[in-house]
Every structure is written in C-alpha cells, then in structure tokens.
Amino acid sequence: MYNGIINDGGYTMKKTLLFFSLLALSGCANHGSSQSKEKSVITVSAAASLKEALSDIEVTYEKAHPDIDIKFNYGASGSLSNQIKAGAPVDLFFSAAQNKVDDLVEAGTVKSDDQKTVLHNQLVAVSKNKLNGLSDLNNKAINKIAIGTPQAVPAGAYAKEALSKAQLWSPIKTKLVYTKDVRQALTYVQSENADVGIVYMTDAKNTELKQLPIDDELHQPITYPLALIKDSSINKAFYQYLQSDAAKKVYQSYGFITE
C-alpha cells in the first residue's frame, strides 16, 4: 500500500515533467514559426495632402497582402526630399512637386526611369467668408493669410507664384503666415488663426470652408510624381499598384485628377 503510493507519485511526477517539456518545445516551435512569418516592410514618404487617399490604399493592399506592412511618413515634399538625400531609409517617395523628385534624380538617389507622374491637383483659397476674387486678399478685413513655407512646401511655392503673377505678393506679404505643410495652412483657417489659407482643392473638399479656385495659368502645373528610391530592396509590386486603376479610383474619390 505504502509502496503503491510512492510509485504512483513518481509516475505522476514523470507525466508532469513530460507535459512541461512538450510545452517548452511547442513554445520554441511557435516562436520559430512567428519569426518565419515576419512581414516585409515598405516605407513610403508622401506629401501631407495624400494622407487620406493613401491610408485607404494601405488598408486594401495589406488585406490582400498579409505579408506586407506599409509604413507612411507624411510631410512637406521639400522636407521629405531632404531627408531622403540625407540617407533616410525610404523605399518610395510620393511628392507634390516634380522638382523635389528632380533633386533626387540629380543626387543619384532616384533613377530617371523609376519615376512617374500619377496625379494632378488645383490650388484654392479658403475662408469662412466668401471670397469674390484674389484681390480680396488685399482688403483690410483680412489680416492673416496662411500658406506653406515656399522653400519646403510645394503648395506654398505654387501660392507664391500665383500671388506674384497676380501682383499681390508684395501688397499682402506682411499678412502671410507660413506653415510646415499644406494641412497646417488649412487647420489655421479652420481654427480661426488665419482669415484665409491657400491650399489644394483636395484638402478643402470635405470642409465647410468657402473656396475660391485659383487660375491654373497663374502657377506651374501641380503634379504628383511617384519615385522608387534607388537603394530600395523591395520589388516594384506596390510601386506599380500605386499607379493602377484600383488606386486611381481611390485618388479620384478624394478629388485628385489622375493621369
């Protein structure tokens, strides 16, 4: 009787040890399995004005490709271009101005054949009150006008060009408030930190702000080139998808003009 209990306890102990050994092996196997399924990361630097459209595309593409993880870095195209030239680990650059991609081609960071214009946009002046024309910007009732910093923000560069051709740049220069990107210019108007902002039509589309379209002839064409960075190790699948008909439908839903 006494010996039976001891033997039974030893048997139970052996079973317990076997259970934990199998559990440990299972854990190791699962760990190795999760490592083998590690996702491939694609890093994209993109103009701030593309954020909503690209967020939609990200969800759709990752659902169809569960092994891919797309990471976006949004900002002013000029700042993003400088980051890439400085060695930022980026695979794709979706710019709001051709000259920012041209800078990378000249620097040898992008091959001239690995870029393509995908979209176009339009410039508008936005305000909570109706604007009858650009000349209204010179009215005394308007004290602050928000635009992107022209040296870094393409929308700001287009705005400066348009205002200069309309002979308004000098008269209203003291009213200008410079922003880090086009979205901040829009936010300044919405929060009443500026009376007027000059932004893209796509930025203003779903707001309640009054819009005044700015004549396309007053500035260079607003184009959005997509570039594949030379040192990127990714294949071209997502680069090509961003140019596809499926992607174009998303851009169009946000007001962009596609090629």
- Consult the annotation and say whether 254 binds a ligand: no
- Name the pairing type of β-strands 257-258 and 110-120: antiparallel
Amino acid at 249: K
Dist. CA 255–CA 50, nearest whole Å? 11
| Burial class of residue 56 (count of CB atoms within 10 Å of its CB; 0-12, 13-18, 19+) | middle
By C-alpha distance, which of 51, 81, 62, 109 is closest to 237? 62
Which residues make beta-bridge pairs with 213? 124
Which residues make beta-bridge pairs with 223? 120
103: tokens are 């800078």
- Consult the annotation and say whether 33 binds a ligand: no
- Consult the annotation and say whether 44 binds a ligand: no
- Consult the annotation and say whether 49 binds a ligand: yes
- Consult the annotation and say whether 250 binds a ligand: no
> What are all long-range contacts of 53-59, with beta carbons under 8 Å and residues at least 24 apart?
53/250, 53/251, 53/253, 53/254, 53/256, 54/94, 56/250, 56/253, 57/241, 57/242, 57/247, 57/250
Binding residues: 49, 77, 155, 182, 200
Binding residues for molybdate: 49, 77, 155, 182, 200
